[in-house]
Amino acid sequence: MATSQKSGKDNSGEYVYKKGVTGDLMLDENGYLIVDHDLDFIAEKFIEFAKRQRYDFWKGDYKYKIMPSELPMAAEKREGYEAKKSR
C-alpha cells in the first residue's frame, strides 16, 4: 500500500503550495493555488491496481469527477493567500 510523502500541509497544519522554478506560487486554470501533495498520484495508482485485480467494487471505466486537489478546502484563491501573507 502506498504512503503519502507530501501531505499538502506542514507541521503547523498550514497548506504547502507548489512553486515554479522561479519560486513563484503556481496557480491552476481557475486561479487557485495548487496544494503540493501526492494524493492524486496515489489515487490514480490505486485505481490502476483495482482494475488489474478485477476487484468487485471496481466496475467499468469509472473516472472520478473530482481530484482531491480540487476540493474547496484544499485550495484558496490567491487574494486570500496574499491577505493572509501580509498579516
Q: 7 pairs with which residues across the strands?
A: 37
Q: Is residue 12 part of a domain?
A: no
The pTM assigned to this predicted structure is 0.54
Q: Is residue 87 part of a domain?
A: no
Using CA atoms, how far apart are residues 54 and 57, in angstroms rounded to an integer? 9
Write out the residue range of the structural domain in which residue 50 sits.
39-73
Report the alpha-carbon angle 42-48-50, nearest 5. Answer: 100
Q: Which residue has the cell 515554479?
A: 20
Q: Could you give the number of structural domains in the chain?
A: 1
Using CA atoms, how far apart are residues 45 and 39, in angstroms rounded to an integer? 10
Q: Is residue 24 part of a domain?
A: no
pLDDT at 85 over 80: no
The per-residue pLDDT for range 11-60, each reduced to its tens digit, is 999 999 999 999 999 998 988 999 998 888 888 888 888 888 887 776 65
Q: Which residue has the cell 485505481?
A: 47
